Amino acid sequence: MASPNSLIPAIFLFILSCWYLGGSQLSHAQNDAIKPGKVLSYSQQLVSADGRFRLGFFNIGSPDHGYLGIWYTNDTFNFRVWVANREKPVSVGKGNLTMDADGLLKILHDGGSPIPLNANKTAPNSIATLEKSGNFVVKELNPDGSTKRMLWESFDYPTNTLLPGMKLGINYKTGQKWTLTSWLTSQIPSAGGFSLEWNLTTNGTRRLIMRHRGDTYWLSGMGSNSNSVNLVMSSNAGYYNFSYVSNKNEGYYSYSAPGMRISRLVLTPDGQLADFPTPAFVSGIMCFGYSSAQGCVQQKSPNCRTSSQKFEQRRGYFISSSPHLDENLSVNLFDCMDRCWSDCSCVGYTTLHNNGTGCRFYSGDFVEEKASNLEQFYVLTDIPKTGEPRRKKGVWRIWIIVAPVGALAISIWACFLWRKKLQWDQDRDRESTLFNLTSSRRSGDTYEIMNNGKEGHDLKIFNFHSIVAATDNFSTENKLGEGGFGPVYKVRLLPSLASIMILLTSLEATSFMLIQGNLPEGQEIAVKRLSRSSGQGLVEFKNELILIAKLQHTNLVRLLGCCVEGDEKMLIYEYMPNKSLDFFLFGSPCSFIFLFG
């Protein structure tokens, strides 16, 4: 059994724990409000009664800029749904929130005047509370602690975010307007270029109206009646209950999101209405100044711009172009796009400062590269038509290579066709000449030589160039003797030259010539050349071609074909290696010459 003395430490710890837990619960219960004389330091926070929202100081963008704001407790991204001093940041760690005896809620900071939140709406017995809805309110209290009246609330001064229960519209009694205004950039809470309001249109109906720098940018669709809105979300649509209220005191647009722990509609710096962190965008708000679809109000464009153009983000560099700089710290990326679109000489842009403000405008040629160390720009491009594939990156460089190669290929092909045409013309001329030479007044002559009525003829047509090459241009070294119509040559026809077709210059010749050589198949031949200076040459050539072509017999020298090339005409015979019959009859080379002469 434990002694009484041993129980004292345990009892002390139990009492201390009860005191701590009770004190913590009391502290938590009182941590949602500020009373006159109390101070919320830079490192402290107010927490709503249900723990859903927090209010405190934070820094963003610049390490020297501190802001007082509200955010969801369980939001991983810590998106600020409201900012008290968006236009007047304080030094980080140097600000605090307090309420004086008159009920004035203000931010105190080193090196500057106090920043009041509820000026002209004060009362001595007041309290500032962060409510479960995320609304930060200042109320005047009765002596018993109950609420006497509402003096001020953050929901009357929205920044860029619409929470469930907040209003977009107007209080007809006070003239108070509830309007969203975007941040300048994602890192700068000060007012940007876009605003969203619930207001009358030119035809007397109320719609959600988005403006950019005062100009109408987008209009919401109409609902079932003239004052309702058809607002379609790209996702999470089932979680939103949109409503419109209109009476003699106020008219506003609002929504609720039952069952959602985190819900907000954010007006982004580039003019979109989105539910973060999903993100679920309101369908249609993708105007960018040059679209007229789904509620977008198309802005007047200069004559140099067309509907098929837009800016796309590309990585690369501009050639021989010094940018035009705009150092204005109150403009963002969308403003840069808007200005570049209006300037016909501008083909690209980006921001100037690291915080996303200022502009750089470019007018030179852009070279796209995929290297990750190169800067990204927004470059003017053409929008592909429906069903048309997007243009490849660097297509202009491909054309630089393809164009000359294509031109060279076309030139080669044209040259080939020209050469083929010359060959066809030569073949046609030879066929025509052959036909004329073998024709007679009797149609039967032509019929028999035309291979019994079939297209073509039995005689082969030899290439003149192969004969010239084989005779070494009819050199005297190959000369065998003289016939009745000229000299006779002995040669060997090269097989590799038999099929070559080359246009030759005219050769001086005065007689028939007898040569020997080999066909590509190895057959030996004899060639008889008609002299152009012989008065009887043409008649002899024609008669011999007609008669011998028709006389085919084993005991006769067979005519294999002919060569017809312009004025050049030759007969190609089967070669007789064992000499001619006249040699054995007469024993004289002259008889050999006489036979072929």
Query: Among 57-61, 78-82, 178-182, 478-482, which stretch is predicted with the lowest mean pLDDT?
Result: 478-482
- What mean pLDDT do residues 42-70 have? 94
Give per-residue pLDDT as tens, 328-341.
Answer: 999 999 999 999 99
**Domain map of the chain by residue range?**
27-154, 158-299, 309-384, 444-596
Q: What is the DSSP string of 223-280?
A: -SSTT-EE--BSS-GGG-EEEEEE-SSEEEEEEE-TT-SS--EEE-TTS-EEETTTTE
- Residues 295, 220 contacting (CB under 8 angstroms): yes
Helices (H), ranges, 379-442: 395-438
What pLDDT sits at residue 137?
98
Amino acid letter at 455? E
Amino acid letter at 70? I
Give per-residue pLDDT as tens, 487-529.
Answer: 555 555 555 434 433 222 233 333 344 444 445 555 667 777 7
Q: Which helix (H) or strand (E) holds 378?
A: strand 376-382
Distance separating alpha carbons of residues 234 and 428, to the nearest angstrom: 75
Q: May I ask the CATH class of domain 444-596?
A: alpha beta
Give 272's contacts (C-beta < 8 A, 6+ positions apart): 281, 282, 285, 286
Q: Do domains 27-154 and 444-596 have the same CATH topology?
A: no
What pLDDT sits at residue 18?
42
Is the pLDDT reported for residue 50 higher than 60?
A: yes
Give CA separation, 288 vs 51, 338, 381, 488, in Å.
39, 8, 14, 93
Query: Among 197-211, 246-260, 345-359, which stretch is predicted with the lowest mean pLDDT?
Result: 197-211
**Residue corresponding to tokens 């073509």:** 456
- What mean pLDDT do residues 280-290 have? 61
Amino acid letter at 501? M
Q: Burial, 80: exposed, middle or buried (Cβ in 10 Å; 0-12, 13-18, 19+)?
A: buried
∠ at Cα 109 (103, 111), nearest 5°? 130
Instruction: Classify residue 584 by its DSSP letter.
Output: H
What pLDDT sits at residue 564?
75
Q: Which helix (H) or strand (E) holds 379?
A: strand 376-382
| Sheet arrangement for strand 309-319 | 324-326, 359-362, 348-351, 376-382, 309-319, 365-368
Give per-residue pLDDT as tens, 321-330.
Answer: 789 999 999 9
**Residue corresponding to tokens 């001595």:** 124
How would you classify residue 566: left for phi > 0, otherwise alpha for psi between -120 and 50, otherwise beta?
A: left
Helical axes 395-438 vs 537-550, angle rounded to 10°: 90
Closest CA to 288 of 305, 273, 271: 271
What pLDDT sits at residue 502?
29
> How many residues are listed for the chain in this entry?
597
- Locate 209 and state its tokens: 């109206």
- Locate 46 and state its tokens: 């107010």
Strand-pair partners of 317: 367
Q: Which residue did the predictor score with more confidence, 551 or 65?
A: 65
Is the pLDDT reported for residue 592 higher than 70?
A: no
What pLDDT sits at residue 376?
93
235: pLDDT confidence band, cut at 50, 70 and 90? low
Fold classification of 27-154 (topology level): Agglutinin, subunit A (2.90.10)
What pLDDT sits at residue 535?
55
- What mean pLDDT do residues 147-157 have? 96
CATH of domain 158-299: 2.90.10
Is the pLDDT reported for residue 533 higher than 70?
A: no
361: pLDDT confidence band, cut at 50, 70 and 90? very high
What pLDDT sits at residue 219?
84
| Sheet arrangement for strand 161-162 | 161-162, 265-267, 273-275, 280-281
Confirm whether pTM is higher than 0.85.
Answer: no
Instruction: Classify residue 462 by its DSSP letter.
Output: P
- Residues 439, 549 contacting (CB under 8 angstroms): no
Give per-residue pLDDT as tens, 559-580.
Answer: 777 777 767 777 777 766 655 5
Amino acid letter at 201? T
Query: Among 131-145, 255-269, 329-343, 453-467, which stretch is predicted with the lowest mean pLDDT?
Result: 453-467
Residue 586 has a CB neighbour count (10 Å cut-off) of: 14
- Residues 199, 244 contacting (CB under 8 angstroms): no
Distance separating alpha carbons of residues 368 and 381, to the nearest angstrom: 12
What pLDDT sits at residue 432?
62
Q: What is the DSSP string of 317-343?
A: EEES-PPEEE--TT--HHHHHHHHHH-
Instruction: Classify residue 477 by its DSSP letter.
Output: G
51: pLDDT confidence band, cut at 50, 70 and 90? very high
118 Cα distance to chain centroid: 52
Query: Among 209-213, 293-297, 460-464, 506-510, which stretch is predicted with the lowest mean pLDDT?
Result: 506-510
Q: Which residue did the predictor score with more confidence, 488 or 10?
A: 488
Query: Among 67-76, 192-201, 307-316, 423-432, which stretch is predicted with the lowest mean pLDDT?
Result: 423-432
Q: Which helix (H) or strand (E) holds 443?
A: helix 443-449
Is the pLDDT reported for residue 256 higher than 80?
A: yes
What pLDDT sits at residue 456?
43
241: pLDDT confidence band, cut at 50, 70 and 90? confident
Q: Is the peptide bond before 279 cis (omega within 30 degrees of 0)?
A: yes
Q: Which residue did the predictor score with more confidence, 232 or 166?
A: 166
Strand-pair partners of 66: 59, 90
Q: Is the peptide bond before 277 cis (omega within 30 degrees of 0)?
A: yes
277: pLDDT confidence band, cut at 50, 70 and 90? low
Residue 311 has a CB neighbour count (10 Å cut-off) of: 21
What pLDDT sits at residue 64?
85
Contacts 24+ apart (CB under 8 A), 436-445: 437/541, 437/542, 437/545, 437/546, 437/564, 437/569, 438/542, 438/545, 438/546, 438/549, 440/546, 445/546, 445/550
226: pLDDT confidence band, cut at 50, 70 and 90? low
What pLDDT sits at residue 191?
97
Q: Which residue did the predictor score with more confidence, 288 or 43?
A: 43
- What mean pLDDT do residues 77-93 have? 93
What pLDDT sits at residue 415?
87
∠ at Cα 81 (80, 85), nearest 5°? 75
What pLDDT sits at residue 587?
53
Distance separating alpha carbons of residues 235 and 525, to the nearest angstrom: 92
Q: Which residue did the predictor score with more confidence, 144 or 502?
A: 144
Question: Which of 168-177, 382-391, 417-426 reaches the highest mean pLDDT?
Answer: 168-177
**pLDDT, mean over the chain:** 76
Q: Which residue did the predictor score with more confidence, 458 or 56?
A: 56
φ, ψ at 539 (rounded to 5°): -65, -45
Q: Strand, helix or coil at 83? A: strand
- What mean pLDDT do residues 208-234 have? 73
Terminal alpha carbon distance of the chain: 155
